Amino acid sequence: MPDEGAQARQKARASRDDHLAGASFTVGGSLFAAGALLAQTGADLLTVEVTYLVGGAFFSLGGWLSVLASATGSRARSSAVVLFAGTLLFAVSLVAAFAAGLTPRQSNTWVWFPDMLGCVCFLVSGHLAMLDVGDGRLRIRPGERDWWVAAVNQAGSYLFLLAGLAAFVRPATSEPVNVGLVNWGTFAGAVCFAIAGVIQARGFRARSWGTTSGWDG
C-alpha cells in the first residue's frame, strides 16, 4: 500500500517548488523588462547587461524549480525540461554579450544564435504546456490557473522570438536589424512572464467564465 504520508510530503514539496518557480519567473521577468527599458533609454551598457544576466539567473532558477515540481514522465515534465534548456541557452547568450569587440559574425554566433535557440525552446515548452492543460489538445480554458500561466507565457515566448529575430546583427552595418523591436519586444515578453509568474506564485484560480470551451490546433 502506498505511503500516504510520503505522498502528501511529495505533493507539498511539488506545490512549494511550483510557487517558488512562479516567484523566480516574476523576478526574472521584471529584471528583463527593466533591462529592456534601460537599453531603450540609452543607459550604460554594463548596467543593461548585468540587469539581464541577473534576470536570466532567476529564469534558470524558475526553470529548474519547474522541473522539480512536475511529475516524472508527464507532459508537464517535458515542458519544464525544455524550458530549463531554453534558460541555459539564454544564459550562454547573456554571458557572451559581455565580450567586447565582437565582429558581427561572432556576435551572431555567440549571442544571437543561442538566444534564438532559447526562444525556440520556450515556444516548444509553451506548446507542450498548452497541450498538458488541454488534455492533449489546444483548448481555451479561462477557468483554470494553469491555462493562464501557459497561455501568458506562450504569448511572452512569441514576443521574445520577435525581439530575437530583430537582434540579428547585419554584417554591412554591424547593427541589429531593429533595435526598437529588440527592446520593446523583450520588454513586452518579459512583462508576460512576470505576470504569469505572479499567477503561478499566488496559486491564483481564475473565476470560471461559463463552461470550458476548446479549439483544435
pLDDT at 71 exceeding the cut of 90 = no
Using only C-alpha atoms, the chain has a radius of gyration, in whole angstroms, of: 18
| Residues in contact with 1: Cβ distance below 8 Å, sequence separation at least 6, in sequence order | none
Rounded to the nearest integer, the mean pLDDT of the chain is 87
> How much is the pTM?
0.84
Calpha distance 87→56 (Å, rounded): 7
- Residue 206 is classified by DSSP as P
Judge whether residue 133 has pLDDT over 60.
yes
* Stretch 43-71: mean pLDDT: 93
Over 50: is that where the pLDDT of 113 sits? Answer: yes
Sign of the CA dihedral 75, 77, 80, 82?
negative
Residue 205 confidence class, pLDDT cut points 50, 70, 90: very low
Instruction: Determine the pLDDT at residue 210.
Output: 33
Q: Is 174 left (phi over 0), alpha (psi -120 to 50) or beta?
A: left
User: Chain centroid to CA 146: how far?
Assistant: 15
